[in-house]
Structure 1
Amino acid sequence: MRKSLLAVGVMLAPSIVLANTDYKIDLTQPEHHKGEVSITFPASDAKFLDVKMPAWRTGYYRILNLANGVRDFDAQSNGEELRWEKVDKSTWRVYLPEDSGEVTVDYEIYANQLGRRSRHIDDTHAYLDASAVFMYADAWRNEPVSVSLDVPGEWKSYSGMERDGAHQFSAANWDVLVDSPIETGINKHYEFTQDDRDYEVVFWGEGNYDAEKTVEDLQKLVTTGDSIWSSYPFERYVFMIHATTGAGGATEHKNSTIIQRPRYSFASRDDYLSFMSTASHEFVHTWNVKAYRPDGLVPYDYQKENYTDLFWIAEGSTSYFQNHLLLQAGIMEPSEYFERVATGIDRYRAKPGREVMSVAEASFEAWIDQYGDRAHNDSVNIYSEGALVSWMLDSELLKATDGKVSYRDVHNALYQRFDADEQGFTSADVLTILKDLTGESWQDWWQENVESPVADIPFESMLKQVGLELVYEQGKKEDEDESEAEKVWAGWSASEASGGMELTRVSKGSPAWEAGFTPGDVIVAYDGHTVVDGRFKEAFAEYKAGDSIEVTFFRRDQLHKKTLTVQPTPATDAKIEPLDEPTAEQKARFLQWLQIPHPNA
């Protein structure tokens, strides 16, 4: 059961004062991406102490082998050097004498992984995710910790942890530390209070962002949490924003988030909405993943993969809700939301993998990095397809209960019933919640749409239910101008290469697939004409459906020829439009779905 924040605070306050494990890092010479770490563990009567560095970090489900940044490890107790050995890739075993006191381990950490949002140190800042910087010992994992930073004089330090000084923090245990990244350096800092909760926004790096506008909209965003959940799981939250080069992405944490964007990708409306969607995604994660999460992730095991068939809920449902909150906050317009949903529909219908893999299977396989054509032709994505299955479930719930129950109610029930510090939820738990909310079994629906591939989502009927329609711009143009030539399709994607264009993807079942083309082929000529001038797309558009093209290409540095028969371009350019005269029921369902009035209400 979920504890109140007040109860948690009362219970943890004494432990934070009596911190047992002390972490220190010296960042006073950051130019070469290095820091000096010192950790003091409490005394123990054990024969040895295993000190570990995680193999991965939360929010990025890949084995990263983070111990690769450690050098010059040593251990001492009572002023004496202790014998140690490395027993696996991430574990240092320190042997303890009978009279050992506190144990201090020291090591150098190399931190130049900005894009992975794990650790980065340079002459302007340090971003420290504890999973990639600070080791832990299982014996003391649940005990309080303190962290102190030695930094250049002009640097300022921020974290979601409790602040004990300008560059000092404390937490109830290592698991809070590992979920509370630290941003220290030359930065811009803003703060505001909303509904008695404190928020901070920290910018590192120069770019074309409008800091004041961003903070203003983040303040609007954080008011929307109660549209889904019955309470907030934090009293203080920190947005960390990196405007940089060569890095992009974001990661959720228990009391904060880190968002990275190319430094000149904030100003345009599309870029700004993309940024705000990311911020909203990570904010949703404060509940979905950080407050409650699937059973396979409770507790986090940082030494190996944590498997679950519910990553599609952890990530896909978060993606589904993220723009709902922007709509409710007035940050995104309905037309802008419809455009993004339509793009998702186009991508789904163009992905052959939807006929092969279920979202449950994609969840279990999330730790495997899909590559090449497999990601497109044989797989689905826990984010994009997970969001679409979430939408399907939301639509079915609204329909089955005459608008009385929505997918928001499912997530609020998960929040109320499962505390991620104690217990995770299973598929059976979600089905129990669905039955409790509706009085009906959802087992068959789950089998058909979660545990089986969903080759055809009924978008048209789902949209009609809420007073919207799906149209295709390409079809409209052809109706309006019958003389317009029909566009043709090969089913490949390519990038420019020396002497031609290199195929990067070939869709299963497409003309290019049937002709035998594969990624890596370098197209150099068509019907005897060179493609070096980069005008192949324009020339390709001159062909008609059914035409055969002799394509010359290199494979394994050898010249080949194949015949490609092009076909009509599948329906693309989906667009969602509001019905001019929606019924009262459609308007009511739209409001129940998105929590805003129908555009033509």
Structure 2
Amino acid sequence: MPRATTTGVRFTVSVQDANAHLFAVTLLIEQPAKDQRVSLPVWIPGSYLVREFSQHLQNLQARQDGHPVAIRQLDKNHWQADSAAGKPLELRYEVYAFDASVRTAFLDSTRGFFNATSLCLRVAGQETRPHALEIAASGHTQGWNVVTGLPAHSVDAAGFGHYRAADYDELADCPVEMGRFWSGQFTAGGVEHRFVISGAGAWLDGERLIEDTRRICETQIAFWHGDGAPPFSSYVFMLHASADGYGGLEHRNSTALICQRADLPRLRPSTSDKPAALKATDGYTTLLGLISHEYFHTWNVKRLRPAEFKRYDYDAENFTELLWFFEGFTSYYDDLILRRAGLIDDTAYLQLVAKTINQVQQTPGRHLQTVAQASFDAWVKYYRMNENTPNATVSYYTKGSLVALCLDLTLRREGHTTLDAVMRELWQRCKGALMREADLMRALKRLGKRSFDGEIAAWVHSTADLPLIDLLQGQGAKFTHDKAPLAQQLGLRVSETGGSVQVKTVLRGGASEAAGMAAGDEWLGLELAAVRRGGAAEAWRIHKLDDVQMLRGQRTRVTALVSRDNRLLKCPLDWPTESQAVKLGVADAAHLGKWLSD
């Protein structure tokens, strides 16, 4: 490994065995301390759960001055080498990588991906020194390319070679994708953007994806800076297309994304020289919303961020009550940006808003947990979902986005400012850095010409419902009701696979809870009383939830036959009154346009 006097911490990452999913890592500490300590993070910023990355680290060895050095584990993620001070210390180890999410590391014969929080040990006392990363080519990587947001120092045409980071935080914030991937480029705000996709087929309509992503980026850069330049000199989108997956994780000048392969834009085979594009699907709109969401985070959470995140503690949870702002407000703007970029129309946007409203309204936990509490509890509740989660919690993504909507429409109704202006005020006031709730309150008061303490107390720090109907109708939206899905009417969340109805969640206060049904039940059938005197009772097998509606006829009570722990149980189910779901449409296009096209 080449030496460099300006870099005291140097990593080399290579593919040791793709079939065994093993990365090999070498760490050279040029000026170690006596009894040098190292550690591996337990979480990755942006994903608020302790994930214990050290579980995948193995075969850790140390050498100094050409001789083996004892190294012992101090706790779950810290080690100490019996090193002398000053002489270069070399650590070698392996990392098992077979998690295809955006949060950790993955390696097989087709691709590799990693976040430094999963592979790169932190050197105690040297976290703020420059770090170097070499991504080494090998026989396993023949024909592969590398992409990352890290500044290149000396790399070959495929991207293998040496990269630099100012400190460990920058290293941790720049994931690496390697393999055979589709690649495209565009310029937005005067900055080069690269988009790479692993797992796509030849049918990919890459031109459409690039153009649509460019429009999203141009719209967001203009949102934050007008004609100014963004706070990064390059940007990389890394998308993995899989059979079944969805998610994203933001970084300072890149993002890692996962989508279902079927949601990518496709070309229709044609007899002409250039195949025609297929019509956009709902899945593709969802993908564009994900792209928009993670790109918006480049400003809102990666730079403008909670004061509690001044310096990440990689060894433990980092608590904040502000995820309703940083995730929720980003969730408000992700789809709104699609509308402003001309990628969806008013009707499509309002349908997305209605979907969010219904998700919150159909969550009984909203009556128990404030959205500020949900932010603080993310580490133990949101990221540890179970069958009771909807009954005990509310999502800071969905309710937070509705808080943003209510603030925006209130500000617009009063005529002094908009939430757009408030966001830009916060960017300037906090200098794109640390923010507290008090900063938001000051910006709202200064631009909105009054205190918004009452609204924030009611919408963020209480479990009161939001004034959505009044505000949306006042902005030109048509507010109606539609029949709720059957599962929601019954107070259930189910899966239907292979002709079996599996109960996943029983919602608090619903008809199914009153009947005694429980998560984990398999709903096998119905017992039905005779309709008329002298008639016979009936029992029927069901294979999907809609069978229940069809079989019950006009009966107001049925008996659900369920299997629980291989016992057959009867649950008397009183049919609920019909529940409603929100439906939004366009009432006043001109008035609506002042909001959606601003």
C-alpha distance in 2, partners of 1:521/1:321? 39
The alignment status of 1:595 with 2:570, answered yes or no, reads no
The alignment status of 1:178 with 2:178, answered yes or no, reads no
Q: Are the aligned partners of 2:308 and 2:318 in contact in 1 as well (CA < 8 Å)? A: yes
Change (3 A) 1:541 1:356: farther
| Counterpart residue type for residue 66 of structure 2 | G
3-state SS of paired residue (1:512) = helix
| Counterpart residue type for residue 209 of structure 2 | T
C-alpha distance in 2, partners of 1:514/1:28? 56
C-alpha distance in 1, partners of 2:5/2:403? 46
C-alpha distance in 1, partners of 2:321/2:544? 46
C-alpha distance in 1, partners of 2:487/2:519? 23
C-alpha distance in 1, partners of 2:142/2:525? 61
More moved, 532-541 vs 265-274 = 532-541
3-state SS of paired residue (2:101) = helix
1:355-504 counterparts in 2 under 5 A?
Answer: 355-368=367-380, 369-400=383-414, 402=415, 404-418=416-430, 424-454=434-464, 456-474=465-483, 489-496=489-496, 501-504=501-504
| Counterpart residue type for residue 260 of structure 1 | I
Indicate the residue corresponding to 1:519 in structure 2.
519
More moved, 540-549 vs 346-355 = 540-549
Indicate the residue corresponding to 1:577 in structure 2.
585
1:83-232 counterparts in 2 under 5 A?
Answer: 83-98=70-85, 100-151=86-137, 152-164=141-153, 165-166=155-156, 167=160, 168-207=162-201, 209-230=204-225, 232=230
1:498-548 deviation line (CA, Å, top 9, x unaligned): 996332222222222222322123333322555535155234245477711
C-alpha distance in 2, partners of 1:498/1:23? 48
The alignment status of 1:295 with 2:307, answered yes or no, reads yes
Indicate the residue corresponding to 2:287 in structure 1.
275
User: 5+ unaligned residues in a row in structure 2: which ranges?
Assistant: 266-279, 529-537
In the TM superposition, residue 381 of structure 1 has moved relative to its aligned partner by: 0.3
1:111-146 deviation line (CA, Å, top 9, x unaligned): 111125311111222111111111111311111112
Matched residue count:
557
Identity in percent? 26
| Counterpart residue type for residue 78 of structure 1 | D
Q: Are the aligned partners of 1:48 and 1:95 in contact in 2 as well (CA < 8 Å)? A: yes
Change (3 A) 1:85 1:501: same
| Counterpart residue type for residue 105 of structure 1 | L
C-alpha distance in 2, partners of 1:527/1:322? 47
Indicate the residue corresponding to 1:12 in structure 2.
none
C-alpha distance in 2, partners of 1:465/1:304? 45
| Counterpart residue type for residue 338 of structure 1 | L
Q: Are the aligned partners of 1:472 and 1:571 in contact in 2 as well (CA < 8 Å)? A: yes
More moved, 206-215 vs 151-160 = 206-215
Identify which of 5, 8, 11 aligns with 1:23.
11
User: 5+ unaligned residues in a row in structure 1: which ranges?
Assistant: 1-15, 476-485, 597-601
1:253-293 deviation line (CA, Å, top 9, x unaligned): 11101111122222452111111110000000000110111
In the TM superposition, residue 84 of structure 1 has moved relative to its aligned partner by: 1.7
In the TM superposition, residue 346 of structure 1 has moved relative to its aligned partner by: 2.0
Indicate the residue corresponding to 1:316 in structure 2.
328
More moved, 130-139 vs 502-511 = 502-511
Which has the bigger relative contact order, CA under 8 A and spacing at least 6? 1
3-state SS of paired residue (1:377) = helix
Identify which of 244, 260, 285 aligns with 2:297.
285
3-state SS of paired residue (1:24) = strand
3-state SS of paired residue (2:313) = coil
The alignment status of 1:244 with 2:242, answered yes or no, reads yes
In the TM superposition, residue 246 of structure 1 has moved relative to its aligned partner by: 4.5
Q: Are the aligned partners of 1:487 and 1:568 in contact in 2 as well (CA < 8 Å)? A: no
3-state SS of paired residue (1:92) = strand
Change (3 A) 1:156 1:410: same
| Counterpart residue type for residue 452 of structure 1 | S
| Counterpart residue type for residue 508 of structure 1 | R
More moved, 424-433 vs 135-144 = 424-433
C-alpha distance in 2, partners of 1:112/1:555? 34
Q: Are the aligned partners of 1:488 and 1:569 in contact in 2 as well (CA < 8 Å)? A: no
The alignment status of 1:42 with 2:30, answered yes or no, reads yes
In the TM superposition, residue 110 of structure 1 has moved relative to its aligned partner by: 1.0
| Counterpart residue type for residue 147 of structure 2 | Y
C-alpha distance in 1, partners of 2:66/2:497? 61
C-alpha distance in 2, partners of 1:194/1:126? 28
In the TM superposition, residue 28 of structure 1 has moved relative to its aligned partner by: 5.7
C-alpha distance in 2, partners of 1:534/1:217? 41
Q: Are the aligned partners of 2:542 and 2:548 in contact in 1 as well (CA < 8 Å)? A: no
Change (3 A) 1:139 1:521: same
| Counterpart residue type for residue 179 of structure 2 | G
| Counterpart residue type for residue 252 of structure 2 | K
Q: Are the aligned partners of 1:544 and 1:566 in contact in 2 as well (CA < 8 Å)? A: no
Change (3 A) 1:531 1:148: farther
Q: Are the aligned partners of 2:350 and 2:585 in contact in 1 as well (CA < 8 Å)? A: yes
The alignment status of 1:69 with 2:73, answered yes or no, reads no
C-alpha distance in 2, partners of 1:188/1:488? 41
1:474-507 deviation line (CA, Å, top 9, x unaligned): 49xxxxxxxxxx9994222333489963322222
Q: Are the aligned partners of 1:503 and 1:522 in contact in 2 as well (CA < 8 Å)? A: yes
C-alpha distance in 1, partners of 2:487/2:426? 48
Q: Are the aligned partners of 2:469 and 2:479 in contact in 1 as well (CA < 8 Å)? A: yes
C-alpha distance in 2, partners of 1:348/1:365? 17
Q: Are the aligned partners of 1:468 and 1:579 in contact in 2 as well (CA < 8 Å)? A: yes
Indicate the residue corresponding to 1:349 in structure 2.
361
More moved, 535-544 vs 313-322 = 535-544
C-alpha distance in 1, partners of 2:292/2:338? 7
C-alpha distance in 2, partners of 1:199/1:525? 55
Indicate the residue corresponding to 2:559 in structure 1.
550
Q: Are the aligned partners of 1:25 and 1:37 in contact in 2 as well (CA < 8 Å)? A: yes
1:51-62 counterparts in 2 under 5 A?
Answer: 51-62=38-49
| Counterpart residue type for residue 323 of structure 1 | D
Q: Are the aligned partners of 1:199 and 1:237 in contact in 2 as well (CA < 8 Å)? A: yes
Indicate the residue corresponding to 2:533 in structure 1.
none
Indicate the residue corresponding to 1:9 in structure 2.
none
Q: Are the aligned partners of 1:545 and 1:567 in contact in 2 as well (CA < 8 Å)? A: no
Change (3 A) 1:516 1:28: closer
Change (3 A) 1:88 1:313: same
| Counterpart residue type for residue 409 of structure 1 | A
C-alpha distance in 2, partners of 1:440/1:102? 61
